[in-house]
Amino acid sequence: MRSIHVHGSAESDLIDIWQNSFEQWGEARADKYLDELDSGTRKLAVRPCARYRLA
């Protein structure tokens, strides 16, 4: 399995995304959104050439 390396600026962007989501929709939704981003990133690491359907 490939490993995932999150660059410092990407981590900062994820924090900003969570903060904005928290302010718009609350903690549970912000957490779920970041979990979904993490899940999608991990799927791409496993199968980078696969076609994924967006929900």
Total domain count, the chain:
1
Give percent of the chain with pLDDT exceeding 90. Answer: 55
CA–CA distance, 23 with 13 (Å, rounded to integer): 15
The parent domain of residue 18 ranges over 8-42
In this structure, is residue 53 part of a structural domain?
Answer: no
In this structure, is residue 31 part of a structural domain?
Answer: yes
Residue 31's H or E segment, with its range, is helix 27-46
CA–CA distance, 49 with 11 (Å, rounded to integer): 24
Contact 33, 42 (CB under 8 A): no
CA–CA distance, 9 with 12 (Å, rounded to integer): 5
User: pTM for the complete prediction?
Assistant: 0.74
What pLDDT is stored for residue 46 in this prediction? 84
